[in-house]
Structure 1
């Protein structure tokens, strides 16, 4: 296959483009499987290392912090060594770290290897996007991104089920061993079918920009991760994290605006299509992973279903997403993207609204159907907004565009989880206060209550408190679903600003 450079939009023949898309699929799957399978295995890992909740949470936090910090680095690195070589190094490093994590003998080893694994995982999504953008002509970008989205959703769909199954029957280490065949397949397919390209000899490393942005991302991630436990800005530590993140972001913004050959080219943010796409991707990350942390708990703790049922419910979202991405890729070739984006937004908003109306006794099948609708919306939304973000972006800016687009999604994930958890906690407290104001021993004696709820005895009072806490938390979850409905609908005005003709350049 012929090599291409970042400023030569020489696209591959149809047959070679097909195999490039096939090679990218496992790159998305391996990352999705790892992230979601680990979240299922965390309780078992906590017991295995006799760790506290705070200590074991660093298994996820270290991974997410590393991925966020080093994601922009791969924009510069792809220009320096080329897309294919860097992607192969990334997959190889991810594979080695997976083995190291699976053979960890202490919690500190596990956290260290997860941090290094997060560094390599940071390059998978932006490099995959760069490969597809270079291989496919602009009018076929939606089709290419539908392949990529399907691969990611396969991992999201399989990860929770496989993680729960392997953890229950074997050991938490098998969660990582199970990903090795996928990483090996990704390495082979990339080595076999991805063409060389993307090297720019004049690429120079901007150390000051790297430090400033890394400081901003590091302390933002730490603030978001530790905020709820430390009661947010009532803690001096959280205030310090916020101040350092703000200083880093300010210095980075001033630096890229006043210097040449910067860590991230500021011209990428001046492109209207890209900026709108980045905002929408941020909100998509806010919803997808925030939802992943809410719904399983509702299914298990409030609807009374086992963990396997919760895993199946979340797997339905993957099925819907693959369907939505496939339909979007077919609809969007050279056509106005706005109807498809609107369909995706309304599907996601509608699914969240339906979830905000559920009760603890609704059939699990009904919840699965809602999640399938949500997944369809995610797929139908992801493909056009990703493709539109790069419609008019200069090919020379694609390395910066792909890393910032991926970083926006990652930060949306972190902020989404923090915001939704904080809203859940405060809404639960508010609802509990409201409920207890209407409960008195005299009023309870007038109601036909079970004997175990006797307000004159300590066990009865404890039982009543437990019921009140459970109801308050359930209503808090419903409020989160309502909030996400509103946030999705607030994106509709941005659809009007999207470009009508995808072939038109600025």
Structure 2
């Protein structure tokens, strides 16, 4: 299946350009907020709907699976229905699903509507960048990428903050209801201002490619989301879905490389910059989602911070990243190589992970993390726009849309792979450190014995019997040991993210960019 544009797009100017920009960026941020907004409300949802923790986890999993499936199909669906119709319908689907999620009276109803919400949301994310490419002229493309990148970074960051505030002050239902007025306004604006690209469909629809994509990527996402909870390959569930993932992805690759009209044109990976840029976007997704996951868990779980306090410390970093997106666009336009900006960006991210690893102690406070957070914001601010520019450099026509959709999918997949990897790594390091430290809790260890006697004496003075005091003292020391094991492991988790970025970084040198190379986006979809 292929689409030929009947009329070439003309670029927008004035107020109309910025109304379109605000509309699509708002939709992209709204979709990304919903990838993480539920994470802080799982306990309240479980209690209210009478669900187990494992069942509630599917509220997050269902959204992630439908997101990752729909994103590579957005170019194909946009060609079939037209950009304007598809984007507006996706906004409405996301908005309706958001209402039904908040209205859900059972956990499985909520899970089903979260899946539907993810189908609408994934389309918003992938189509938003394409709409911006068609809205801005070629010489302003880096500005468009910068605006889109700011939304990409701020969405996942704002999710836990907004989710915590709404859950603490209202109820979990409002983490979904908050989308409704924004979605209605966005649907009206998108229908009014986004151009309806006319297409003439040629060739057969690649149904086998779509089926293989759904089975392969959907199963892989299922494995990544549920693997740690089900102890990976000791679970028949994970084994079955792993086989489906491998089989589906292999069939999908073979089908798309041989099909005359592939639904996702993997042939764009023959361009070196697309392959390198997509790998960097994968690493970017891994690092940003893992950092946003580890930091709140650490400070809330071990330092006792609430969601508001945690979020307020993250926000300056997110805003710094957003501001730097535009700066990057200007630097590239002036002739600064995206490769140099990428090296600096990843170096800052690696520095942040190392500094946080060193500062991850029970005595850490806000100011210990404030400056490292700004370093993180600085790093992420110098990655997205250069990576996007590098990926699209030298491409023409439909190759731009295909490369953009593929790199967006790989960025989200990087986040999923990274979270599964870090979750497993941290969990196993906690066990390892607990075993190592357990030897210190012994009557033959003078320091441990002295600490035990001191706690026991204090508890006896509080009115407990000698036997009760000794048992309570042992319990306190074991909890302290578990906390220390977890803190060390989470610190190592930050370091692991830095190591992965350091391994990926040399790929930057493999990219080739000709000086003054411009993008031809006149017929991009």
TM-score category by the smaller chain? over 0.9
Shift of 1:200: 4.0
C-alpha contact (below 8 Å) 1:391/1:502 kept by paired residues: no
Shift of 1:212: 1.0
State the Cα deviation string for residues 385-413 of structure 1 (Å, max 9, x = none): 11221222232133322321221012111
Which residue in the other structure is 1:394 paired with? 396
Higher alpha-carbon deviation: 125-134 or 434-443: 434-443
In the alignment, the residues of structure 2 paired with residue 384 and residue 6 of structure 1 have an alpha-carbon distance, to the nearest angstrom, of 32
Which consecutive residues of structure 1, in runs of 5 or more, have no partner in the other structure? none
Q: Partner residue of 2:408?
A: 406
Is 2:354 aligned against 1:343? no
The range that moved more, 131-140 or 143-152, is 131-140
Q: Secondary structure at the match of 1:196?
A: coil
Q: Is the 8 A contact 2:101 2:176 kept in 1?
A: yes
Give the Å deviation of 1:249. 1.2
Distance 1:381 1:406, change over 3 A: same
- CA drift at 1:6: 8.5
- What CA deviation, in whole Å up to 9, does each residue of 1:89-113 have, x standing for no partner? 1111111111111111111111111
Aligned to 1:384: 386
Task: Please name the residue that 1:503 is paired with.
Answer: 517
Give the root-mean-square deviation of aligned CA atoms: 2.4
Q: 1:6 to 1:47 in 2, by over 3 A?
A: farther
Q: TM-score, normalised by structure 1?
A: 0.93
Q: Which residue of 1 aligns with 2:494?
A: 481
C-alpha spacing 1:445/1:264, structure 2 compared with 1 (3 Å): closer
Deviates more, 1:257-266 or 1:418-427: 257-266
Correspondence list, 1:441-456, <5 A: 441-444=443-446, 448-449=450-451, 451-452=454-455
**Matched residues in 1 for 2:456 and 2:319: separation?**
44
Task: Please say if residues 298 and 487 of structure 2, whose CA atoms lie closer than 8 Å, have aligned partners that are also in contact.
Answer: yes
Separation in 1 of the partners of 2:126 and 2:21? 14
Deviations 1:133-159 (A, max 9, x none): 223333422110111122344444443
Q: Is the 8 A contact 1:209 1:255 kept in 2?
A: yes
Aligned to 1:89: 89
Distance in 1 (alpha carbons) for counterparts of 2:6 and 2:436 = 60
Residue 334 of structure 1 and its aligned partner are, at CA, apart by 5.2
Tell me the distance in 1 between the aligned counterparts of 2:375 and 2:120. 33
CA distance in 2, matches of 1:192, 1:499: 40
Question: Which residue of the other structure, out of 441, 461, 469, is the alignment partner of 2:482?
Answer: 469
Residue 42 of structure 1 corresponds to which residue in structure 2?
42
Task: Give distance in 1, aligned partners of 2:200 and 2:500.
Answer: 40
Higher mean displacement: 416-425 or 36-45: 36-45
Distance in 1 of aligned mates of 2:317 and 2:115: 28
- Distance apart, 1:22 and its partner CA: 2.7
Q: 1:390 to 1:27 in 2, by over 3 A?
A: same
The 1:268–1:504 alpha-carbon spacing in structure 2 relative to 1, beyond 3 Å, is: same
State which drifts further: 139-148 or 304-313.
Answer: 304-313
Residue 362 (1) aligns with residue 364 (2): yes
The alpha carbon displacement at 1:209 in A equals: 0.7
C-alpha distance after superposition, 1:233-258 (max 9, x if no partner):
23333222211111111111221222
Take 1:15 and 1:491, find their aligned partners in 2: how far apart are those partners?
Answer: 41
Corresponding position of 1:352: 353
Does structure 2 retain, via aligned residues, the 8 Å contact 1:321–1:375? yes
- Pick closer, same or farther for the CA change 1:458–1:186 going to 2, 3 Å: same
User: Who is 2:31 aligned against?
Assistant: 31
The aligned runs of 1:321-332 (5 Å cut-off) are 321-332=321-332
State how many pairs are aligned: 503
Q: Please say if 1:73 is aligned against 2:73.
A: yes
**Is this contact kept in 1: 2:325–2:385, CA < 8 A?**
yes
Counterpart in 2 of 1:228?
A: 228
Paired residue for 2:309? 309
| Whole-angstrom distance in 2 between the partners of 1:258 and 1:41 | 45
Question: Displacement of 1:7 after TM fit?
Answer: 8.9
Question: Which has the higher mean CA deviation after the structures are superposed, 302-311 or 478-487?
Answer: 302-311
Once the two structures are TM-superposed, the CA of residue 310 in structure 1 deviates from its matched residue by: 1.8
**Aligned 8 A contact 1:153 1:322 in 2:** yes
**Alignment-derived partner of residue 264 in structure 1:** 264
Q: Residue 206 in 1 paired to residue 206 in 2?
A: yes
- Provide the rounded CA distance (Å) in 1 between the counterparts of 2:202 and 2:40: 45
Q: Is the 8 A contact 2:161 2:307 kept in 1?
A: no
What CA deviation, in whole Å up to 9, does each residue of 1:466-502 have, x standing for no partner?
1111101111011111111111122321222233335
1:415-462 Cα distance to aligned partner (Å, 9 max, x none): 111100000011111111111234321214676426326899322222
Aligned residue for 1:201, secondary structure, equals: strand
233-242 or 92-101, which deviates more: 233-242
Q: Does the 8 Å CA contact 1:45/1:172 hold for their aligned counterparts?
A: yes
1:230-245 equivalences in 2 (<5 Å) = 230-245=230-245
Deviating more after overlay: 58-67 vs 482-491 = 482-491
Q: Distance in 2 between matches of 1:80 and 1:307?
A: 43
Deviation larger for 145-154 or 9-18 = 9-18
CA contact 2:219–2:241 (8 Å) conserved in 1: yes
Cα 1:171/1:215, change in 2 over 3 Å = same
- Is the contact between residue 212 and residue 249 of structure 1 (CA under 8 Å) also seen in structure 2? yes
- Counterpart position of 1:99: 99
Q: What SS class does the counterpart of residue 491 from structure 1 fall into?
A: helix
d(CA) in 1 for partners of 2:47 and 2:118?
23
